[in-house]
Structure 1
Amino acid sequence: MLLDAQQTKPMEGGPSFSLRNRAQRFIWSAAWLVLASWTPPFLHPWRRTLLRLFGAKVASTAGIYGSARIWYPPNFEIGEHAYVGPKVNVYCMAKISFGDYSLASQGSHICAGTHDIDDNSFQLKAKPIEIGAQAWIAADAFVGPGVKIGEGAVLGARACAFRDLEPWVVYSGNPAQALRKRKYQPRSFSKTC
């Protein structure tokens, strides 16, 4: 999917992705714009269906708001009762997965792509992101490429995670720093809820 920047020269206007990938993303973006972006919040079932048609793995109870942006559905996976809130940007150049009961709040940015700043061609790189069950990415927070958000972890509002976050720990700041253990007691959820 990613092209060699030395050959395609994206710094001079060349592509970073194959023609097929760019065409798929164009069709997807147009479909989301016309069929989902304007829909009211309660139409989660319709948006789940549309995402599945384009290759996403979406649990039957997941919620994705119409104003959210999913960059490439085949790299998107979301579990039971997990939510992607309003105006969340899921920049899934590589796989981004949301565990059961996880939440990405309004305006957060989950970005699986970066560039090699030491490469003269500025090669694009993609690294998967995993958001654990019951984790919360608060409003306007940023999660960088390759980060694993542990189960039950909280990334506070406008915080930036560039490294893995430990389970059941609250983080804030840029870069995110651990504040304390979460007082909430972890519990198991049935898949049949």
Structure 2
Amino acid sequence: MRSRYSDPTFDSTAQPLPRVGGATFAFRFRLMRLFWTICWILLAAWTPSFLYPWRGWLLRRFGARIHSTAIVRSSVKIWWPGNLTMGRHASMGPGVICYNVAEITLEDFAIVSQRSHLCTGTHDVNDPGFPLKSRPISIGSNAWIAAEAFVGPGVVFGEGAVLGARGVAFSKLDPWTIYVGNPAKAVKTRNRDAAAQ
């Protein structure tokens, strides 16, 4: 599901194009993002780990759909809360970069470990204007993205899928399968009982 800001944020009238200094997003939305960034720095970025309910509350004020048990660490960098959905006990570890120009969804018990990068944006390299393009990322229940991994636009994690540390994913990850490397390759299946609740 795309947020109400996913399409209107693009400023189709901007000239020149982003490659030569033009704005990609509408001025109003840029102001909203500035306000969001200031609020996060002043009200959340310094808070201790156990205050995740407060950080969740703040994210919800900016349009995020986050379950009360979901955990977002204070050092996480979220581009726009309105494009974020997190289910029960889903979590983002310290230093995660959540570049959610398009929707990012973490289903129940999905884990994104420290310093991982979720990137929904890319550019059209065949267009002289180098315009921004975006596609959502979906992380299934019980999936795990290990430390410092990179997940590109449009990637879908099946339930229980694992992307190993510093792995790089640009295509779908099958359920209950462990992937490693750059680009990520399936290496073995995961025991479903390991994620039993």
CA contact (8 A) 1:114 1:124 kept: yes
Alignment of 1:128-167 (within 5 A): 128-167=136-175
* Secondary structure of residue in 2 paired with 1:133: coil
Aligned length: 189
CA contact (8 A) 1:77 1:98 kept: yes
CA contact (8 A) 2:19 2:131 kept: no
Q: Does 1:61 align with 2:69?
A: yes
Q: Closer, same or farther in 2 for the Cα pair 1:181/1:36, shift >3 Å?
A: same
Alignment of 1:96-111 (within 5 A): 96-111=104-119
Aligned equivalents of 2:16 and 2:133: distance in 1? 14
Alignment of 1:44-193 (within 5 A): 44-185=52-193, 189=197
Give the RMSD, CA atoms, in angstroms. Answer: 1.4
* Secondary structure of residue in 2 paired with 1:185: helix
* Secondary structure of residue in 1 paired with 2:188: strand
Aligned equivalents of 1:47 and 1:115: distance in 2? 31
Q: Which amino acid aligns with 2:164?
A: G
Q: Which amino acid aligns with 2:68?
A: S
TM value normalised by structure 2: 0.92
Q: Which amino acid aligns with 1:116?
A: D
Aligned equivalents of 2:76 and 2:28: distance in 1? 24
CA contact (8 A) 2:76 2:95 kept: yes
TM value normalised by structure 1: 0.94
Q: Closer, same or farther in 2 for the Cα pair 1:5/1:150, shift >3 Å?
A: farther
Alignment of 1:31-46 (within 5 A): 31-46=39-54
Deviation at residue 71 of structure 1 after TM alignment: 0.5
| Identical pairs, percent | 50
Equivalence for 1:25: 33
Aligned equivalents of 1:177 and 1:171: distance in 2? 5
CA contact (8 A) 1:152 1:186 kept: no
* Secondary structure of residue in 1 paired with 2:32: helix
* Secondary structure of residue in 2 paired with 1:61: coil
Aligned equivalents of 1:54 and 1:60: distance in 2? 15
